[in-house]
Amino acid sequence: MDYFKKLSDLLKTEREEDRQSYLRLTETTSVSERRANGLAWYPVAIRGSEMSRGDYLTVEVERTTHQDISHQLRFGMPAVLFSNHDAKKDRLEGIISHQSGNRLKITLRTDELPEWSRDGKLGIDVLFDDNSYDEMQNALKAAGILAENDKEGRLVQILTGEKAPAFQTDVPELRIPKLNPSQLEAVKKIVSANELAIVHGPPGTGKTTTLVQAIKALISREHKQILVVAPSNTAVDLLSEKLSEEGLHVLRVGNPVRVSERLISLTLDSKMNAHSRMKDVKALKKQANEFKNMAHKYKRNFGKAEREQRKALFDEAHKIMKEVGTIEQYVIDDLISKAQVITATLVGSNHYTVRNLKFGTVIIDEAGQALEPACWIPILKAGKVIMAGDHLQLPPTIKSAEAARNGLSTTLLEKNVAAHPESVVLLEEQYRMHEVIMGFSSKIFYENRLAAHASVAHRLLFPEDSPLAFIDTAGCGFEEKKEGTSTTNPEEAAFLFKHLSQLVSEFVQSKPDITPDILKDFPTVAIISPYKEQINILKEQLLHADSLQPYLSSISVNTIDSFQGQERDIVYISMTRSNAEGEIGFLADIRRMNVAMTRARKKLVVIGDSATLSQSAFYRDFIEYAEQFNAYQSAWEFVD
């Protein structure tokens, strides 16, 4: 089918671009540069090892320094253990089988550690992740074949726009008191759908709450296992936790990022450890290791008899590990059969433990950020598909501009919202923002259909404060500067902190009965800019803003992308662009601005140059919107 052929070609382009950028970052760089780029842990110390499935060796390592550097070493990624004495020769490839804090386990394709691993100077490099791309390409190929089959391929044909979805009309009345009318309607749509339902959840509208209740309703009606997936580990963790809190039996496949007790107890590893048959496994593994250790004693002095003895000991260890594999498989099958909901990332849904399972319903959360080829991995296991997300917020990250331009950045969610409007329910009530903060986004993106719940509609930082401010820096001489491929505006940053300091002092004065533990009640603040270099300048200046030092723990500074899905009491956006040509670069991506402007609960402050921004109709409309609420101010008003 041409549909999948085209997608497959786009994915090849993306894979090549991704591989090239990985090579640029690793080929000629030193280990300290790779560490700074988040691609390596170095130095590491070995903290233990044990035999694992298929006679491989699983080694636990700990990074002993540079523990504050963020990194890309994740569960399921291919990686290599290397010695920095001779990193080209002394290296062993494997897969990261667990990662938490500063420790990880890597399963190596060997049954014993080499000599060089005893000399220190060890590190772990993450390798290019061919596995994820292979999984996506295989799924596209399988979906293409399925699409040709009229009976079996009906779901595929609906999702590619060839056929229309169907709904049951005789669904009994649902009563779920904790849901509002549009949330309840979404649950009804999900329950009545034969093949497809879509929950369109704008910021703050309780999409997760809705999904959790829908999953409960499906399980109580159909008594079938459900697969719940999302593109990021964080989103999977959130849903796993909420579903478990509602009393469902959840099995989290893969490695959670949020290391809460509750989440760890939902993982396959944790449930396996608690299983009654694992006592036998531990005893057998111990026995196998003893045989191997005995075999290693024959390393130094070799004759024919020793060689045979060594081989016999290794054979014995292998035989025991085969038995271990059989028992472990029994335990895994047992645990999977007892789970009501299995949760995983999109690619993780093809983990060996669940690879061949089929599900009545597959739910894809955060589908607005999911790369389409990755969605087909879980869809191939589904009788029906539920997608939830917001295609008017950030799209998935794509490395190849060419692949993005030719359609890879258009998500399956977007295509199906357009093709099957009868499947879509928009959640209309939001529980995050003051109605003035919400209003502009509602008007531009959601046909004015959003309403603020009474509990938040009029909530302010303090009495007499206003929820919205656009502060115009036009004519103040705050010129943007080019920093490599990024843009900065140091004067705008300095002005932002001056404004925030003033707001903080007004907040403190508004609380006459304030006690020394004001920090407990101090509002949370996000300072956002679309430009990475501007973020660096903002972080730097924040450390020198004297009046803000007591409140640093409440203030976070980061790019828009890193705040998707989060909220704060106060949000400042530094627009950064200010030039005579009226060039706004990627501020033109209004979906990104939709995310930025909808993070704030009680106050949103946008700082920018109206002369530059007004080149775009979107920003012209926003400035007009601010004027309606007396929220437009010139930066001149604040100049001493």
The pLDDT value recorded for residue 514 is 64
Provide the token pair at 328: 């472990």
CATH code of the domain made up of 38-128 = 2.40.30.270
Measured between alpha carbons, how far is 20 from 14 in angstroms, rounded to an integer? 10
Query: Using CA of residue 34, residue 40, residue 41, residue 45, what is the dihedral sign?
Result: negative
337 torsion bin: left (phi>0), alpha (psi -120 to 50), beta (else) = alpha
Q: Are 279 and 269 within 8 A, CB to CB? A: no
The sign of the dihedral angle between the CA atoms of 369, 372, 374, 378 is: positive
Q: Write down the H helix ranges in 554-609.
A: 560-563, 590-597
Q: Can you give the pLDDT at residue 26?
A: 86
Whose CA is closest to 524, among 600, 431, 595?
Answer: 600
Q: What angle do CA 364, 367, 369 make, to 5 degrees?
A: 140
CA dihedral (444, 448, 451, 456) positive or negative? positive
Q: In the block, which residue shows the tokens 């409140």?
A: 551
- Cα distances from 481 to residues 17, 291, 478, 587, in angstroms, run 29, 66, 10, 16
DSSP string, 254-278: S--SS--HHHHTTBHHHHHHTSTTH
CATH superfamily of 132-249+341-427: P-loop containing nucleotide triphosphate hydrolases (3.40.50.300)
pLDDT at position 288: 86
pLDDT value of residue 300: 61
Closest to 314 (Cα-Cα) out of 297, 298, 283, 291: 291
What does the pLDDT read at residue 609? 96
Residues of the chain with pLDDT under 70: 1, 54, 299-302, 514-519, 640
Task: Kindly give, in sequence order, each residue whose CB lies less than 8 Å from that of residue 20, ignoring residues fewer than 6 positions away.
Answer: none
Neighbour count for residue 570 (Cβ, 10 Å):
23
Closest to 286 measured CA to CA, from 276, 294, 275: 294
> What integer pLDDT is reported at residue 243 of this predicted model?
97
**CA neighbor of 83 nearest in space, from 47, 57, 44, 135:** 44
The listed CATH number (3.40.630.30, 3.40.50.300, 3.10.20.600, 3.80.30.20) that belongs to domain 433-638:
3.40.50.300
| Predicted local distance difference test score (pLDDT) of residue 515 | 63
The strand pairing partners of 105, in sequence order, are 60, 98
- Residue 605 DSSP symbol: E
Q: Answer whether 80's CB lies under 8 Å from 239's CB.
A: no
Task: Find where tokens 């986004």 sit.
Answer: 441
Question: Helix or strand or coil: residue 381?
Answer: coil
SS (H, E, C) 450-490: CEECCCCCCCCCCCCCCCEEEEECCCCCCCCEEECCEEECH
